[in-house]
Each structure stands twice: as structure tokens, then as C-alpha cells.
């Protein structure tokens, strides 16, 4: 096979997964799938969703995990509403665990696609300060990724892709992702479990349900506190290494 053909095949293998993800995302946005990820739709369809979950049991739970994984893998907006739905349909623990499973699967697919397309190419080009940052992240990948996952201030999709630019082993990525998103997922699932009450209170006040009704500053600060605790160990390790380098 000619060298040019080999290069074309390598490029196709590198970018095909990311191309499929972008195609699914574009199709979903064009078809208007995002209209199903709104509080209004969840409020309107809650009775039908509850009935479907009860009638189809395990099959419905599996479908929920697959839908969640697909939405996360293509970086579809407002996937946090799926976590609310999980809590509403299955309760805090089962709904939260199903949501965490779907989110971890979807995040891993996106991570793998981004790593396949760009990881090695970008990693080979970084040098000097960027190279030191990359090596520092890789040396404490689990701790850094765990802290990023716990922090409620970083976009979920961005954190799915960022580790792909470093040599983060897949088991490390999966473990830190699953463990890191669990606290937040359980919080959202608990909100989902009480969604009926929230909707009733909003209806009694004759106003639409807003994000402020669901997510309080206390919840956000609590999750941020967990992220800070998780970041202490890798940051301390980094500072010790920098101090040792200056002394040597």
C-alpha cells in the first residue's frame, strides 16, 4: 500500500470516532432533541415517564442509562436534567447510581474519541512550561481529575475532554470520573426525588420552575468544598516538588 494511502487510513482511524460524535450532535440539534432536556418538558411528561419506568422496569432503567451515555458522549447541553429525571423516576440511590453509570460511560467515550484524535499529536508538541504542567498532571492524574470532577464550577464536557490532552490511563480516568461525579449526581438525584413538591410549590405561586428553585447556593458551596479538599493533596505535592527543584 502506498505511503499516502497509509497516512489517509491512519487519519481516518484517528478522526472517525470524533466525526461520528459531531455528526450525532449536529443531527440532535437539527432535529430539536434538546427540547426534551428542559424543565418544562420534564414537568409536562413526568406522569408518562413515571408510568413507563414502572411498566418496563429493568428495560426502562437500561434505556435511561443508554440515553444518558449518548447525551454525555456527544456533549449535549443540559444533561444535568437527566440526573433530575433519574432521581424523580428511581429515587436518590438507584437513580443517582444509574445517572453516574450513564455519565461515566458517555464521558469515557468522549475522552477516548478526543484522545484518539488529538492526544498524541498535541502531547508531542508541548514543551517547556506546558510540558511541565502536562507531566505534573499525569503524575497526579487521579487526584487532579477527582478535584476537577467534584468542583461544580467547571463545565462537565470540558473536563471530559481535557484529560485526553495528557497521558491519563483509561482506568484512572474511569475511576476518578465515577468517584468524582457521585456526590454531585446524588445531590441532583435528591432534588429530582422531590421534584413533585417543587413543581407543586411553583404552581401554587403561579410561576414557572427555575434553576434557582432546584440548586441552592448551599449545595454549590458544599460541592466546591469537596473539590478543594480533593485538590489539597496534588497541589501540596506539586509545591513540594517545586521547592525541591529550587533547592537543588
Nearest alpha carbon to residue 120 among 15, 2, 242: 15
CB atoms inside a 10 Å sphere around CB 189: 27
Residues 72 and 110: their CA atoms lie apart, in Å, by: 8
Interatomic CA distance for residues 125 and 218, integer angstroms:
42
pLDDT in tens, 4-37: 656 656 666 767 777 788 888 888 778 877 777 7
pTM for the predicted model, two decimal places: 0.78
Mean pLDDT of the chain: 77
* pLDDT given at position 79: 81
pLDDT tens, position by position, 92-129? 899 999 999 999 999 999 898 888 877 665 555 555 54
User: Is the pLDDT score of 145 beyond 80?
Assistant: yes
- Asked if residue 223 has pLDDT above 80, the reply is no
Q: What are phi and psi of 153, to 5 degrees?
A: -100, -10
**CA distances (Å), origin 61, targets 31, 35, 90, 101, 147:** 24, 21, 9, 11, 29
Amino acid at each position: 500500500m502506498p505511503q499516502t494511502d497509509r497516512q489517509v487510513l491512519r487519519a481516518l482511524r484517528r478522526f472517525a470516532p470524533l466525526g461520528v460524535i459531531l455528526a450525532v450532535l449536529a443531527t440532535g440539534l437539527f432535529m430539536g432533541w434538546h427540547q426534551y432536556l428542559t424543565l418544562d418538558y420534564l414537568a409536562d411528561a413526568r406522569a408518562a415517564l413515571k408510568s413507563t419506568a414502572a411498566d418496563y422496569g429493568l428495560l426502562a432503567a437500561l434505556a435511561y442509562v443508554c440515553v444518558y451515555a449518548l447525551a454525555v458522549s456527544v456533549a449535549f447541553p443540559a444533561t444535568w436534567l437527566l440526573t433530575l429525571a433519574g432521581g424523580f423516576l428511581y429515587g436518590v440511590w438507584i437513580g443517582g447510581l444509574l445517572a453516574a453509570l450513564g455519565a461515566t460511560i458517555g464521558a469515557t467515550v468522549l475522552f477516548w474519541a478526543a484522545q484518539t484524535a488529538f492526544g498524541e499529536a498535541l502531547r508531542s508538541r508541548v514543551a517547556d512550561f506546558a510540558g511541565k504542567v502536562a507531566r505534573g498532571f499525569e503524575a497526579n492524574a487521579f487526584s487532579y481529575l477527582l478535584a476537577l470532577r467534584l468542583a461544580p464550577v467547571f463545565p462537565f464536557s470540558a473536563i471530559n475532554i481535557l484529560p485526553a490532552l495528557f497521558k491519563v490511563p483509561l482506568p484512572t480516568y474511569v475511576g476518578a470520573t465515577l468517584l468524582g461525579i457521585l456526590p454531585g449526581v446524588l445531590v441532583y438525584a435528591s432534588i429530582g426525588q422531590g421534584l413533585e413538591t417543587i413543581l407543586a410549590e411553583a404552581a401554587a405561586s403561579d410561576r414557572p420552575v427555575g434553576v434557582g428553585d432546584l440548586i441552592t447556593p448551599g449545595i454549590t458551596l458544599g460541592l466546591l468544598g469537596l473539590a478543594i479538599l480533593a485538590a489539597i493533596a496534588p497541589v501540596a505535592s506539586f509545591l513540594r516538588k517545586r521547592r525541591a527543584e529550587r533547592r537543588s
